[in-house]
């Protein structure tokens, strides 16, 4: 289809959960989804910021249907509480896994003692999925249309290679730890889709890359992106996009009627552009089966969650 971010497919009646929804790409994805008619559930760790994000969306989207759930991805207990709350909703048609800490501190860990980047960008998502996958499956079954789980990655995965057979071997540098976590994200996302397909489960697992979104080109939103919020300089600003357009890949993956599990969406250009389906990396999309299985089993163990019985139903 010809994709037009200003004329999204009607999302009326659908419920979509967005993590990391109080700033940046997550916020603008939520605003755009609400503008298309979806009921959007904002998930983030700060109740005060969630309130600001809700008010901002209602200000910019007439009649927006939006609610919030507090979730701290650096605490597996918090993730479990949030998944219980989300699992009590009438339906969930889509889940955007956008949240995660951007720690610049070497050796930073979560409250559970996990590496901060791997813990918040991957392991917490496994725990969250284990809690709400039954509702995603139920929704997909009732609607006769697969629910969607959208995982956010980064272009750094293509640039840098990291071993993933042993997840306890986490890179020391913050950038390395982040890229390693996103590499694991891609391997897990594609393995999840393979297992969902094998079990004929009506849930699609899709990966997206936002490109480069910078503050300098991001529209102002009170308390979200304005003079009161931190401004981060970026050397790629002349070639980059705002965080509103960086959200397009995720929004397309969640709303395009033709999107399928196992696909990868990214900007048409290197750093920006309309979202298009791109070829995923072979080393994350189709790694050796034993590597994908090892990543899966390690993530289940670290998350204290079991997905296998759910995806093989």
What are the pLDDT digits (tens) for 43-86?
A: 999 999 999 999 999 999 999 999 999 999 999 999 999 999 99
Per DSSP, the three-state class of 138 is helix
- Quick check: is 257 in a domain? yes
- The answer to whether residues 126 and 98 touch, using CB atoms and an 8 Å cutoff, is no
Question: Cα(44)–Cα(250) distance, rounded to whole angstroms?
Answer: 17
Domain assignment of residue 149, given as a range: 15-311
- Quick check: is 66 in a domain? yes
- Quick check: is 10 in a domain? no
- The answer to whether residues 207 and 190 touch, using CB atoms and an 8 Å cutoff, is yes
Domain with 228 in it: what CATH number?
A: 3.40.50.720
- Quick check: is 144 in a domain? yes
- Tokens 């889940």 identify what position? 95
| Stated pTM of the model | 0.96
Judging by DSSP bridges, how do beta strands 275-277 and 15-19 pair with one another?
Answer: unpaired
Judging by DSSP bridges, how do beta strands 203-208 and 147-152 pair with one another?
Answer: parallel
Q: CB-based contacts of 192: which residues, under 8 Å, 6+ apart?
A: 129, 149, 205, 307, 311
Tokens of 133: 């996958």
Tokens of 201: 């489960």
3-state SS string for 96-133:
EECCCCCCCCCCCECCCCCEHHHHHHHHHHHHHHHHHH
- The answer to whether residues 125 and 95 touch, using CB atoms and an 8 Å cutoff, is no
Q: Where are any strands of DSSP class E within the chain?
A: 15-19, 39-44, 65-70, 94-97, 147-152, 203-208, 264-267, 275-277
- Quick check: is 4 in a domain? no
pLDDT 10s per residue in the chain (313 long)? Answer: 588 999 999 999 999 999 999 999 999 999 999 999 999 999 999 999 999 999 999 999 999 999 999 999 999 999 999 999 999 999 999 999 999 988 778 888 999 999 999 999 999 999 999 999 999 999 999 999 999 999 999 999 999 999 898 998 899 899 999 999 999 999 999 999 999 999 999 999 999 999 999 988 999 998 888 888 877 788 888 889 999 999 999 999 999 999 999 999 999 998 899 999 999 999 999 999 999 999 999 999 999 999 887 887 5
Looking at the chain, how many residues does it have?
313
- Tokens 């009438």 identify what position? 90
Question: Cα(73)–Cα(262) distance, rounded to whole angstroms?
Answer: 25
Give the chain's largest Cα–Cα span: 50
Per the structure, the count of domains in the chain is 1
- Quick check: is 6 in a domain? no
- Quick check: is 1 in a domain? no
Q: Which of 171, 179, 90, 79 is nearest to 131 (CA)?
A: 79
- Quick check: is 105 in a domain? yes
Question: Cα(111)–Cα(117) distance, rounded to whole angstroms?
Answer: 12
Question: Cα(81)–Cα(70) distance, rounded to whole angstroms?
Answer: 9
Q: Which of 52, 63, 67 is nearest to 15 (CA)?
A: 67
């Amino acid at each position: 289809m010809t994709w037009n971010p200003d004329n999204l497919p009607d999302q009326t009646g659908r419920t979509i959960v967005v993590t990391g929804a109080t700033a940046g790409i997550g916020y603008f994805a939520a605003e755009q989804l609400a503008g298309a008619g979806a009921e959007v559930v904002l998930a983030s760790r700060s109740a005060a910021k969630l309130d600001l994000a809700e008010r901002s969306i209602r200000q910019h989207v007439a009649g927006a249907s939006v609610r919030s759930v507090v979730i701290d991805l650096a605490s597996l207990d918090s993730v479990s509480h949030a998944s219980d709350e989300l699992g009590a909703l009438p339906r969930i048609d889509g889940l955007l896994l956008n949240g995660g800490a951007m720690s610049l501190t070497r050796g930073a860990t979560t409250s559970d003692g996990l590496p901060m980047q791997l813990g918040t960008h991957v392991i917490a998502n496994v725990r969250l999925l284990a809690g709400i996958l039954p509702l995603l499956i139920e929704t997909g079954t009732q609607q006769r249309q697969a629910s969607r789980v959208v995982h956010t990655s980064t272009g750094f995965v293509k640039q840098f290679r990291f071993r993933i057979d042993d997840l306890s071997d986490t890179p020391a540098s913050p950038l390395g730890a982040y890229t390693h976590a996103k590499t694991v994200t891609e391997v897990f996302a594609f393995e999840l889709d393979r297992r969902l397909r094998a079990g004929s489960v009506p849930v699609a697992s899709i990966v997206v890359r936002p490109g480069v979104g910078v503050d300098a080109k991001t529209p102002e939103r009170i308390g979200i992106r304005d003079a009161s919020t931190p401004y981060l300089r970026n050397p790629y600003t002349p070639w980059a996009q705002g965080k509103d357009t960086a959200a397009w890949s995720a929004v397309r993956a969640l709303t395009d009627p033709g999107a399928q599990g196992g696909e990868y969406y990214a900007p048409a250009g290197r750093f920006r552009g309309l979202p298009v389906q791109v070829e995923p990396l072979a080393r994350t999309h189709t790694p050796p089966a034993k590597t994908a299985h090892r990543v899966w089993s390690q993530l289940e163990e670290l998350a204290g969650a079991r997905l296998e019985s759910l995806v093989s139903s």
